[in-house]
Amino acid sequence: MRKFVLPVVIVGLLAACSDYKPPAQSASSGDNQEVLDALKKVRSDLRALQEQNEERESVVRTLERRFSDIEAAIGDVKHTLHGFDQRGKEQSELLEDQGETLESVKENTGKVMELAQRTEALSNTLNTLKGAVDELKVTLATVDLQKFLDVSRQLAEVTGRAYKAEGERDAAREMLTAADATMTQLKGKVSELEARMGEMSGSDISKHPDFVALKKKVDELVDGKEKLQKDYDKMKALADAQAEEINNLKAGVPAQPKPAETSTPTAGFEAGFRSVVKTAQFFEVSKQFNMLVDLKEGEMPKKGDVLVILNEKEEVVCELKVTAIFDGVQFGGETIAASVDNPPTQGDVVRRRRAISAGGVDE
């Protein structure tokens, strides 16, 4: 807008000059000189105004350049600020990514620590197993393998016998319980009979036929119960002995060895030794029989002796290994190679083979 100021001033001056009318010819020369001086001054003022206008235009151009520079600088600043904002966003995203990475690192660190603990536990277990293996190696180096196998076999055999003994003991207990119940019932009848006959004044109830018969039956039951009690005690002792043998075998104590054979299958039997099978019970576990034998004649056999069982036809049924001795008149044992097709039964005879001397003569 400043560019239009000077032309307007010039146009105004020219208009003023055009309106000027020279004085009449009658005016003096002095007046003309004043007019010329005024024109000179106007022209001088015009030149001064033009110079001032040029200076203003120069200042305006300078200001415009500065404004342009400032606008450019402002644009640069805006661009820089935009760059800062973009970098800020990128750094914010980077920080978020780093935060997620940190959480992932924390989670992985927890997993690593858990894995380290499990690894340590496995390492401890492995060390324990290595120690056990080393101990086992030392044990195997000092243990006779054949002895271990023998003891294991003996343990299996004795366990089978123990099952048999427990079965016989339980059977004897049941018989004893039944006998007790029967005796209790009969004693009640005796007491009732005594009370009823006691009402008969002057009567001797001890000679009454019913009382005598009942008393005899009670006495027989008492005797039977005593025998059953003895059988039960012996069966219990046999079971206890075999349980002790099992414990010894588990502790590494070998069973009593079988005595050396001193007779041949064709040799005769000792004339002074004779026993009779009292009870015989078959056990499915070992497929053999557990037996209680009454000694009738001769010397009591030793624990571990092997005897022969004969049937009523004097035929060999099987062999019997003595496993327990009772009160000098009975002993217990387990059959060897008995067959269910030809089993030993109550009443079979148990004999001892006659020993053969080195010269082949019966001793």
Cβ partners under 8 Å of residue 234, min gap 6: 292, 324, 326, 327, 330, 332
The answer as to whether 310 is a domain residue is yes
203 pLDDT band, cuts 50/70/90, is low
Q: Who has greater pLDDT, 88 or 303?
A: 303
117 occurs within a structural domain: no
User: Between residues 337 and 163, which one has the greater pLDDT?
Assistant: 337
Distance CA 292, CA 326 (A): 10
Beta-bridged to residue 280, according to DSSP, are 291
Query: Total structural domains in the chain?
Result: 2
In angstroms, the CA 344 to CA 346 distance is: 7
Of 11-20, 154-163, 269-278, 336-345, give the lowest mean pLDDT range. 11-20
Q: What is the CATH number of the domain that holds 197?
A: 1.10.287
- Quote the pLDDT of residue 140: 55
44 located within any domain? no
Task: State the chain's mean pLDDT as an integer.
Answer: 72
Kindly report the CATH number assigned to the domain that includes residue 330.
Answer: 2.40.10
- Residue 345: pLDDT above 80? yes
Q: Assess if residue 168 is contained within a domain.
A: yes
Position 261 pLDDT exceeds 90 = no
CA–chain centroid gap for 68, Å, is 85
Residue 68, in any domain of the structure: no
In contact, 330 and 350? CB cutoff 8 Å: no
More confident residue, 27 or 33: 33
Give CA–CA dist 73/79, Å, rounded. Answer: 10
Q: What is the pLDDT of residue 309?
A: 93
Instruction: Give the span between the Cα atoms of 106 and 117, in whole angstroms.
Output: 16
Residue 57 lies in a domain: no
Domain membership flag for residue 230: yes
101, pLDDT greater than 70: no
Range of the domain at 243: 145-250
- pLDDT in the model for residue 319: 92
Mean pLDDT of 137-157: 60
29 domain-assigned: no
Give every CB contact of residue 49 below 8 A, 6+ residues apart in sequence: 6, 9
Q: Which residue reads 């492995």 in tokens? A: 126
225 with 295, same domain?
no
Least confident piece of the model among 58-62, 66-70, 75-79, 129-133? 129-133
State the pLDDT confidence band at 33, using cuts at 50, 70 and 90. Answer: confident
% of residues, the chain, pLDDT over 90: 4
pTM to 2 decimals? 0.30
